[in-house]
A and B are shown apart, each in its own frame.
Chain A
């Protein structure tokens, strides 16, 4: 048996031991520390879009549709300009999250703090709309909600869109 073959067996045993050590230490430290996290997290959209004060930011499509029909909310598209130009919810204003610092003042000028705002981007896991919503709340806007996977949902439902 070539000498190196012993290396492979040793490697498997050692690697397993290293992984086991990491698991035990990691789990114990996580359980003991103040800022440990739960082992099975809730990564549903609603959980991700609930603030630390318990406010649920999600707005269902049906409700967003109603607000749109009554022109009762401002829709903010958190995606980049090229994506916005390619297609967005009719009447939505583009406020790319990646450029929020430069663009916020100009966009916010026309929106009073008590006006309902709905942010959206594209994709179930897209965090642009959430980041924008939380930012807006910090800036003093009280009624900000997020339409998860807004662009795809809206478009697939055949609701009014425009481009440019």
Chain B
């Protein structure tokens, strides 16, 4: 009985993580798709990519987010979606941490020496890092937890 309860809880958490993550990705990509020029400028202001890659990234990345979100919401290709979403979030968080460390203000593409303004605060980074929680959870349960409902799983016989 206990095993069944534990497994259904994991299943519930998995579904929850999927939906939360999927929703976040669709929401994140949607506005960028509507305003490619503005997003390209934002990518430029991050000062991380070479000029010739900026527009391509601005065009493809939002669609990657939306596609990823949709797959997560529907619940298909979970291994790929879980890996990709964790990878993307890790890259984003790292990029933000790097820019925070070098004092770049991405709203102006400048490096204010005074710590006065700066749209990128530690809270923005923390918020995105929080998204790593459902992503990480999904990643771990997909790849490391032994399959809980599988043909060879002995627990399946339990009621």
A35 to chain B, nearest CB (A): 7
Chain B contact residues, majority secondary structure: helix
Contact with B along A1-38 (1 / 0, CB 8 A): 00110011011111111110111011101100001111
Q: Which of B119-155 contact A (CB under 8 A)?
A: 142-144, 146-147, 150, 152
Among listed B14-22, B55-63, B91-99, interface-contacting one: B55-63
Chain A hits for B75, CB < 8 A: none
Q: Is the CB of A4 within 8 A of B56?
A: no
B91 to chain A, nearest CB (A): 13
CA distance A41 to B58 in the complex (A): 10
Interface size on A, as a range, is 35 or more
Decide yes or no whether A123 CB sits under 8 A from chain B.
yes
A137 to chain B, nearest CB (A): 18
CA distance A114 to B104 in the complex (A): 35
Chain B hits for A27, CB < 8 A: 59-60
Q: Is the CB of B55 within 8 A of A82?
A: no
Chain B hits for A125, CB < 8 A: 44-45, 47, 109-110
Number of interface residues of B (CB under 8 A): 46
A21 closest partner in B (C-beta): B67
Chain A hits for B28, CB < 8 A: none
Q: Is the CB of A127 within 8 A of B36?
A: no
Decide yes or no whether A79 CB sits under 8 A from chain B.
yes
- Which B residues form the contact surface with A (CB < 8 A)? 33, 36-37, 40, 44-45, 47, 51-52, 54-56, 58-60, 62-64, 66-68, 71, 77, 79-84, 87, 108-114, 116-117, 142-144, 146-147, 150, 152
